[in-house]
Amino acid sequence: GHFARIDHQRQQRTGFPEVVWGPGKTPEQIAEILARMRPYYPCVMATRISADVFAAVRSRLGGLHYFEVAQICSTAPILPPAYPGQVGLVCAGTADLPVAEEAAITLQLSGFAVERFWDVGVAGIHRLLSVRDRLETMQVLIVVAGMEGALPSVVAGLVSAAVIAVPTSIGYGANLGGLAPLLTMLNSCAPGIGVVNIDNGFGAAMLAAKMLRSLPQRAATGSM
Amino acid sequence: GHFARIDHQRQQRTGFPEVVWGPGKTPEQIAEILARMRPYYPCVMATRISADVFAAVRSRLGGLHYFEVAQICSTAPILPPAYPGQVGLVCAGTADLPVAEEAAITLQLSGFAVERFWDVGVAGIHRLLSVRDRLETMQVLIVVAGMEGALPSVVAGLVSAAVIAVPTSIGYGANLGGLAPLLTMLNSCAPGIGVVNIDNGFGAAMLAAKMLRSLPQRAATGSM
Amino acid sequence: GHFARIDHQRQQRTGFPEVVWGPGKTPEQIAEILARMRPYYPCVMATRISADVFAAVRSRLGGLHYFEVAQICSTAPILPPAYPGQVGLVCAGTADLPVAEEAAITLQLSGFAVERFWDVGVAGIHRLLSVRDRLETMQVLIVVAGMEGALPSVVAGLVSAAVIAVPTSIGYGANLGGLAPLLTMLNSCAPGIGVVNIDNGFGAAMLAAKMLRSLPQRAATGSM
Amino acid sequence: GHFARIDHQRQQRTGFPEVVWGPGKTPEQIAEILARMRPYYPCVMATRISADVFAAVRSRLGGLHYFEVAQICSTAPILPPAYPGQVGLVCAGTADLPVAEEAAITLQLSGFAVERFWDVGVAGIHRLLSVRDRLETMQVLIVVAGMEGALPSVVAGLVSAAVIAVPTSIGYGANLGGLAPLLTMLNSCAPGIGVVNIDNGFGAAMLAAKMLRSLPQRAATGSM
Amino acid sequence: GHFARIDHQRQQRTGFPEVVWGPGKTPEQIAEILARMRPYYPCVMATRISADVFAAVRSRLGGLHYFEVAQICSTAPILPPAYPGQVGLVCAGTADLPVAEEAAITLQLSGFAVERFWDVGVAGIHRLLSVRDRLETMQVLIVVAGMEGALPSVVAGLVSAAVIAVPTSIGYGANLGGLAPLLTMLNSCAPGIGVVNIDNGFGAAMLAAKMLRSLPQRAATGSM
Amino acid sequence: GHFARIDHQRQQRTGFPEVVWGPGKTPEQIAEILARMRPYYPCVMATRISADVFAAVRSRLGGLHYFEVAQICSTAPILPPAYPGQVGLVCAGTADLPVAEEAAITLQLSGFAVERFWDVGVAGIHRLLSVRDRLETMQVLIVVAGMEGALPSVVAGLVSAAVIAVPTSIGYGANLGGLAPLLTMLNSCAPGIGVVNIDNGFGAAMLAAKMLRSLPQRAATGSM
Amino acid sequence: GHFARIDHQRQQRTGFPEVVWGPGKTPEQIAEILARMRPYYPCVMATRISADVFAAVRSRLGGLHYFEVAQICSTAPILPPAYPGQVGLVCAGTADLPVAEEAAITLQLSGFAVERFWDVGVAGIHRLLSVRDRLETMQVLIVVAGMEGALPSVVAGLVSAAVIAVPTSIGYGANLGGLAPLLTMLNSCAPGIGVVNIDNGFGAAMLAAKMLRSLPQRAATGSM
Amino acid sequence: GHFARIDHQRQQRTGFPEVVWGPGKTPEQIAEILARMRPYYPCVMATRISADVFAAVRSRLGGLHYFEVAQICSTAPILPPAYPGQVGLVCAGTADLPVAEEAAITLQLSGFAVERFWDVGVAGIHRLLSVRDRLETMQVLIVVAGMEGALPSVVAGLVSAAVIAVPTSIGYGANLGGLAPLLTMLNSCAPGIGVVNIDNGFGAAMLAAKMLRSLPQRAATGSM
Ligand SMILES: Nc1ncnc2c1ncn2[C@@H]1O[C@H](COP(=O)(O)O)[C@@H](O)[C@H]1O
Ligand SMILES: Nc1ncnc2c1ncn2[C@@H]1O[C@H](COP(=O)(O)O)[C@@H](O)[C@H]1O
Ligand SMILES: Nc1ncnc2c1ncn2[C@@H]1O[C@H](COP(=O)(O)O)[C@@H](O)[C@H]1O
Ligand SMILES: Nc1ncnc2c1ncn2[C@@H]1O[C@H](COP(=O)(O)O)[C@@H](O)[C@H]1O
Ligand SMILES: [Mg+2]
Ligand SMILES: [Mg+2]
Ligand SMILES: [Mg+2]
Ligand SMILES: [Mg+2]
Ligand SMILES: [Mg+2]
Ligand SMILES: [Mg+2]
Ligand SMILES: [Mg+2]
Ligand SMILES: [Mg+2]
């Protein structure tokens, strides 16, 4: 497809291959790109793939795996973690699950271990405090929240790992499609929080993966 | 002054007399309005009065009291509480103090008891948890916060009293002059929060006062 | 369902049990959560439930009640008020009714008495003045308005009870999905107004309920 | 001054001569333009002229008149009305006076009769109701309000004259420099309101003048 | 229907009866309100009525008239003008026609004469200049424009009648649903323009009608 | 100065050398950068230089030229045009002059011929029509306007040259610091308009210069 | 159709005939306008025509050509270029193709040569650097990008031709329907970029065409 | 000072002590907090301290260090790095230096090694490419940019380390106080970027420090 110029050096440059972004692509195009890339990489992923689109892609290309809540399809299954470290995935409410699962599955397909902490929003802070000890053992935390998005501030004040905050578009009224929790996270009074775009579970996973993967091996050759 | 049509029935209609809003009025005008109203009410207040303006007002009118952090001047001092109940004033950071004090002094001059809980922001949640028992004894809570404004959500999930949330313009960058914490408070996932305008400590105090004052006496004659 | 971590201490902490927020949940999930919670509470509610969704929920779980205009389903019917005091529900136009009914039914299912004042918008102010005497007997007022949202300002200047203002998304053009009446209510020149999110009838009801329920009994043990 | 190309046909085309907009002009430029135009028109006005700027203009050009609250200077004084009809000027609060006076003086200098109704905001609706009979005798109404800007809606629902609404930048917090009352006025549920820009008393006056001046004489030659 | 409190004094107070706003009402409700009001007024209108909704209303209530481009239905046909004067309706592009027709039909059903000037946008200014003489004979002008909304500025600089500007939501990209032309019209450098809400042809017609109707008869008893 | 990494290849790559942007630089830094660059280029410019800053720069570095309205200083004077073609500079009002002059002087210092058409805003369209014949002889037009910014639409509909539109921050109220005319220009119904940032006369000049300079010589070797 | 006043002098004034903008027109109207214009111009175009609408238009009018990705229909096919010069069309990602093709086909139907550079976004900058030599031979560049829209800045810093930037609405979350890349392009630190409205490939093509067409012939008679 | 409740457990919980945020604090308060904290921590910092404020603080408390460009004062000097790894600090333009230095000095005072890459903005991409090899040796990158903020996208596509993006308020016109580059960074098409608030160099440094410090030691006890 001359419509897509696949960036084959991307893995070499940035450590990860291109990922197919589903929206605006036909099932034919998605199947073709996956087929063209599969020979070169252990696992190729496409994100934002609804069950209907997946059915149409699968009818054109065999051997695919599908993760429905995460809306991800891939050319390989989840395998045991290939890298050291663990990412804690923290999620405020039930409705934020699709975004949180997009992050979780992306990490697992990329070879990282994750632990899930679902439905621990700040309206019942004891739920978060009760998992604090487990959170302390994570190397990075991804915190997903909609509505007012206060959860990352509280988490970043409780534990020492770096926090990646993902605002979701869950809410109504003055939520403004996720702008309200996005602003909350950017203005957090607890320092050490990196924010990604609204509903961007994939982007959060890539940032966590870069932190976990590049650091230990590079640290050995650190140039101070 | 024909420039101001004092609303003398307001106390009868709504329970509280007019309060002089300082911005855009000259010291002469402020002094004149206070002088005209003083004979009719036990306590007349003016808000948003800087120390400089107060000096100019005092040089024209004697017998005034001034509360510098709150930027309030009044024709009467703070007296022992005249009404039952107590308002808890909770404040996230040091920089939110002027707004929180505007609320506190307004309530005290209006005859209500208050208790202050300063600098208990969510970046160190244990500070809030350590005052939880005292908070539980309040009849109403006013929670003041800038930056991301997450504090009211956490408080409303912890205690059973009604929460009045006041966003402040403290912050920088994407704080947008207080719009960020305002949106946070409106989108709170913890129900039972009433929001007032940015930096509007006075408005929060008036709402708390209406709750405390009108309910007990009215409840007796409730018409279910 | 591991997808939902029910916050069973919430009633103990805040006085009210968790309420199921319908959007983004399947009928199966809604039925399951209602079934799990029903044994523990006299009345469990779900909000934002369309007639279609309710039909699907009812086919899985018996004994439910449905309030169509309010889009609420519950495990118990409306019973006679259990608490003293009365909430006045004031609504500007016909199109604001669903939001106003969400507030009304939430209060009635929670044990409070309400009185409805429908279609009294400011374009015909005499309609409001003609119900002023009844409004004066209410302990709290919830005022619902879309378009320009001027009604709460006028009401708060007329009566002494605390006013909870609910902007609605009713309007067109520069209404901006309810942002216009939201701004109006936050900027009100009449003090003593607490604002909730756009279309948030449920949140307004919870705030009114907290005012009515906690105050009288607590006032007895007030600690001035 | 080649910097200004005076539009001498404007009076012929639109009924009124060009008016000098003060901001961004030096006192020298203002004096020069007034001097160049004075021979051709009975009255030339400059708006948004502070007392300091006026002093500097007057030191260069004699025979000027100054209206301090309105921030207007002119080459002629206010004379008895030259046109039939009367414009009612209604203003919500004391701080809106400069904008309301800009409208009033512009009308009076242009030969129209005005009546002022100051400080009749909706927080005390009886103040407005008490002047309703006088308002009914006006041919056009200009209603000036800041904060939430609810006054034009109430007025337009009370009387039959056309209403011109002027939002002001008076307020704080989420007032957004006058955007809040501007949105309120545009979304009014009472029809028959024309809105002008924030703080634009001059524009409101010009619209009222066009209504009053062109209609009666033209109606005689109406071409139905 | 207790759902609607018809404001029967509105005609007496403001000169025009209530008009039924279609959105959010069922055909049953619309038919019922029209039936209840018809005995009292020569013509009752409902706006924003699609052809489908009209079919459903007509099957319940006879004797109705429908204007499809304008999306208006009424209990009476257009009759010869009852009032002196004429309103010029100027429209920038073909896509603005529904809004312009809403204004035109509202005026005609209310007894006023109109003349239409369609598709005279500023991208071809000669089209406007070629109708300038006819425009000069109008008593009021309603100018409807989407996209950048520049037309009212040019018209107000050409002729002496008052201009009512109506922004439309026609456009794309940074048009922002009509906010772009709305801002253009509010910021016009040509004075004497009153702006109504986006797509609000009805509101523009009501303002024009108030100007035309109240002025001549009132002027006779003007109280200078 | 290690604080600035001068991009010496820029002229080779893009046809023009780096230009010093004044804001946020001390007079010392500006003088140093100009001194370092002067040996390599026939003319080095600095923009947004107030008269005060220029005085301080001149006291450190001789041989500079200053253009006060344009707020530009340069190492060379304006010389006769070095390139064919002419840029028409059209400006709506007197207050837009500084932005229009920034564009004019930038072009003249870069070797291009310009013609100025000042104060021809749309409120008096005949002023524009009277210069139309001269406009027709220009190869490119830069149109500068604040307030509602309607001028570029009218110009682009009148003449055949490409139009570069520059919104200015001149205005008040809902002008929003120039966002209103920016939106107007982006939404223009007349095609063939390229928009630059608010008040960015320099950017408009660079775009015009690129059009004029690169086209004729390149066309000769055009590769169709 | 009296609904459309065709601007037949437009080609004479601005060099190009009117183009039919599809949205909001019925297939009947589109067919009628094309039929009325076809006799007078070598090629008449309609934009934003979906495949469905085209089918309906074609059933009414024969001899049309359709370009599906570009959503354009025309009365003539693409012919060999009629003008010297070449426009480079640069596009960041696969999803931006419809906008880029709207620009390309508009140019080709208008008689200009184009070269396409697809899928060269900044996440893999080497893709852009590898086509730099070809880009250098273009007389004008149109750069289309969604998401963050950084591509025009990089291109304008690399080559000397004028750059026309087109933001697209491709993206999610805080992309805000294309406002994010629009702001990026307006704020570019590389000078010489003209921006058009979001998704406005047609407008970009018209601006490029005006640059290419009017310059060479006019330069001959340049009046310095 | 009861005005500040120092959070002494913060270092234990999150790895870093509280830092004094200067804005809104008097020199007396800053000096008092530094004096109270100094006995407990090796280095206490205050940020956003202007040279004037520092002079006033120093006159009350000895032994302080000051970093003028970064606007930071501290109780200890910069010492040799205490932790492995290195943070690359990349900055687009000269005017972004204060924000970039706030990040650099915060990291150095906290015991981390940094390398500075100043003035490598995308308008001259070769400047960035020429330092690419050095960038590849960094463990984390902080990229600071104002105006359109395109730099982080390009950097994240070139190297494999995690990128922390800091938008600055440098710019003009539609830069909107830094909102434009903030949106650019959030919408980046290159994955693996975490964004902090506008001008928040301190927050970026804390996030980088958490990544570098917690990972290696924690990885040893990782629980996969
Ligand atoms: N869910 C996602 N959210 C954001 N970006 C994504 C997502 N999935 C894929 N991407 C990015 O989009 C790029 C694919 O763009 P495309 O060339 O249109 O397929 C990938 O290389 C990723 O960087
Ligand atoms: N700090 C404050 N914030 C908001 N509203 C206030 C404040 N102080 C006074 N007000 C309101 O402003 C009114 C006075 O307005 P004025 O007539 O301008 O003095 C009072 O009656 C209050 O309702
Ligand atoms: N097209 C329209 N645009 C704006 N307002 C309208 C329109 N049609 C009717 N209205 C107003 O809406 C009111 C009816 O509201 P309702 O009680 O909901 O029917 C009328 O009295 C008018 O003031
Ligand atoms: N430059 C800065 N930008 C953002 N946050 C900061 C900055 N400096 C300090 N802080 C945060 O503000 C807190 C101090 O707030 P305060 O109690 O008001 O001194 C610190 O603990 C940091 O989390
Ligand atoms: Mg939950
Ligand atoms: Mg603190
Ligand atoms: Mg009604
Ligand atoms: Mg007052
Ligand atoms: Mg047309
Ligand atoms: Mg002028
Ligand atoms: Mg691609
Ligand atoms: Mg530089």
Judge if ipTM > 0.90.
yes
In SS3 terms, D180-202 reads as HHHHHHHCCCCCCEEECCCCCHH
Gap between the terminal Cα atoms of chain F: 47
pLDDT band per the 50, 70, 90 thresholds, residue G2: low
* pLDDT tens string B85-103: 999 999 998 889 999 999 9
Phi, psi of E75 (to 5 degrees): -90, 0
Q: Which residues is G166 bridged to in the sheet?
A: G144
Of G18, F129, F152, residue with least CA distance to E129: F129
Quote the minimal CA–CA distance from G199 to chain E in Å.
Answer: 7
Distance from C-alpha of D111 to C-alpha of D45, rounded to nearest angstrom: 13
Q: Are H171 and H118 in contact (CB under 8 A)?
A: no
SS3 B166: strand
Residue E221 pLDDT > 50, yes or no?
no
Chain-wide mean pLDDT for chain C? 91
Chain F CB contacts of G128 below 8 Å: none
- Per-residue tens of pLDDT for chain D, all 224 residues: 367 777 777 787 887 888 999 998 889 999 999 999 999 999 999 999 999 999 999 999 999 999 999 999 999 999 999 999 999 999 998 889 999 999 999 999 999 999 999 989 998 899 999 999 999 999 999 999 999 999 999 999 999 999 999 999 999 899 999 999 999 999 999 998 999 999 999 999 999 999 998 654 444 333 33
Integer-rounded Cα radius of gyration of chain C: 18
Give residue G84's region: left, alpha or beta (phi > 0; psi -120 to 50): beta
Distances in Å between the Cα of E81 and the Cα atoms of D214, D222, E77, E112, F130 are 20, 12, 12, 5, 41
F with E: 3 or more CB pairs under 8 Å?
yes
* pLDDT tens string G96-119: 999 999 999 999 999 999 999 998
Q: Are C47 and C21 in contact (CB under 8 A)?
A: yes
Task: Name the closest-CA residue to atom 8, ligand 3.
Answer: E21
Distances in Å between the Cα of A115 and the Cα atoms of A142, B186, E200, G140, H224 are 10, 31, 54, 53, 10
Side chain identity at residue B146, one-letter code: G
Q: Where are the alpha helices (DSSP H) in G43-173?
A: 51-58, 97-109, 125-129, 132-136, 151-158
Token output for H13: 């919980």
Residue F200 pLDDT > 70, yes or no?
yes
**Which string of b and e fits B18-53 if b means at least 16 CB within 10 Å?**
bbbbbeebebebbbbbbeebbeeeebbbbbbbeeeb
pLDDT the model gives residue D2:
64
Quote the minimal CA–CA distance from G149 to chain H in Å.
Answer: 7
Distances in Å between the Cα of A141 and the Cα atoms of A158, H45, H191 are 12, 26, 17
Distance from C-alpha of G188 to C-alpha of F190, rounded to nearest angstrom: 24
Token output for B206: 């008036």
Q: Are G121 and H189 in contact (CB under 8 A)?
A: yes
Give the neighbor-by-neighbor strand order of the sheet with A45-47. Answer: A20-21, A45-47, A72-74, A65-67
Q: Are A192 and A95 in contact (CB under 8 A)?
A: no
Q: Are H49 and H71 in contact (CB under 8 A)?
A: yes
Cα(A96) to ligand 11 centroid in Å equals 28
Task: Name the closest-CA residue to atom 2, ligand 4.
Answer: H202
Q: How many CB pairs under 8 A join B and C?
A: 157
- The DSSP 8-state label assigned to residue B178 in this structure reads G
Chain C CB contacts of E4 below 8 Å: 94, 119
Distance from C-alpha of C34 to C-alpha of F61, rounded to nearest angstrom: 80
The distance between the two most distant Cα atoms of chain F, rounded to a whole number of Å, is 54
* pLDDT tens string F169-183: 999 999 999 999 999
Under 8 Å CB-to-CB from D50, ≥6 apart: which residues?
D71
Distance from C-alpha of B156 to C-alpha of H198, rounded to nearest angstrom: 30
Integer-rounded Cα radius of gyration of chain F: 18
- A186 to B174: CB separation less than 8 angstroms, yes or no: yes
Give residue A71's region: left, alpha or beta (phi > 0; psi -120 to 50): left
- Is pLDDT larger for residue F8 or for residue G138? G138
Distance from C-alpha of H95 to C-alpha of H78, rounded to nearest angstrom: 24
pLDDT the model gives residue H215:
58
pLDDT the model gives residue D215:
57
DSSP sequence for E2-44? TT----TTHHHHHSS---EE-TT--HHHHHHHHHHHGGG-S--
pLDDT band per the 50, 70, 90 thresholds, residue G24: confident
Instruction: Point out the residue among B160, B192, B203 whose CB comes nearest to the CB of C191.
Output: B203
- D123 to C176: CB separation less than 8 angstroms, yes or no: no
> Which range scores top for mean pLDDT: B178-187, F211-220, H6-15?
B178-187
Nearest ligand to the CA of G2 is: 9
Instruction: Say what percent of chain H tops pLDDT 90.
Output: 80
- Per-residue tens of pLDDT for chain A, all 224 residues: 367 777 777 887 888 888 999 998 889 999 999 999 999 999 999 999 999 999 999 999 999 999 999 999 999 999 999 999 999 999 998 889 999 999 999 999 999 999 999 999 999 899 999 999 999 999 999 999 999 999 999 999 999 999 999 999 999 999 999 999 999 999 999 998 999 999 999 999 999 999 998 654 444 333 33
DSSP sequence for B8-60? TTHHHHHSS---EE-TT--HHHHHHHHHHHGGG-S--EEES--HHHHHHHHTT
Q: Are E178 and E199 in contact (CB under 8 A)?
A: yes
Share of chain F residues as helix, strand and coil, in percent rounded to the nearest 5? 45, 15, 40
Kindly report the number of other CB atoms within 10 A of residue A9's CB atom. Answer: 12
Distances in Å between the Cα of C18 and the Cα atoms of A171, C9, D190, D193 are 17, 9, 40, 45
Give the neighbor-by-neighbor strand order of the sheet with C20-21. Answer: C20-21, C45-47, C72-74, C65-67
Cα(D52) to ligand 8 centroid in Å equals 28
Phi, psi of C217 (to 5 degrees): -65, -35
**Which residues does A contribute to its contact with G (CB < 8 Å)?**
2-5, 7, 9-10, 13, 21, 23-25, 29, 167, 169, 178-179, 182, 197-200
- H172 to F199: CB separation less than 8 angstroms, yes or no: yes
pLDDT band per the 50, 70, 90 thresholds, residue B215: low
- The DSSP 8-state label assigned to residue H62 in this structure reads -
Distance from C-alpha of E133 to C-alpha of C76, rounded to nearest angstrom: 72
Chain E CB contacts of G3 below 8 Å: 94, 97, 118-119
Q: Are F43 and F75 in contact (CB under 8 A)?
A: yes
Cβ of H19 closer than 6 Å to ligand 4, yes or no, is: yes
Q: Are D165 and D190 in contact (CB under 8 A)?
A: no
Question: CA torsion, points H37, H38, H39, H42, in degrees to nearest 10?
Answer: 120
Nearest residue of chain G to residue E169 (CA atoms) = G24
Distance from C-alpha of H43 to C-alpha of H109, rounded to nearest angstrom: 7
- G94 to A3: CB separation less than 8 angstroms, yes or no: yes
Cβ of H202 closer than 6 Å to ligand 4, yes or no, is: yes
F with A: 3 or more CB pairs under 8 Å?
no
What are the E-state strand segments in chain B?
20-21, 45-47, 65-67, 72-74, 86-91, 113-117, 140-145, 162-167, 193-195
* pLDDT tens string A138-163: 999 999 999 999 999 999 999 999 99
pLDDT the model gives residue E217:
47
- H169 to B174: CB separation less than 8 angstroms, yes or no: no
Of H173, E176, D23, D28, residue with least CA distance to F171: D23
Distances in Å between the Cα of H149 and the Cα atoms of C129, D164, E119, H178 are 56, 44, 42, 9
According to DSSP, the β-strands at H140-145 and A140-145 are unpaired
- The DSSP 8-state label assigned to residue H218 in this structure reads H
Q: Are D150 and D90 in contact (CB under 8 A)?
A: no
Residue G135 pLDDT > 90, yes or no?
yes
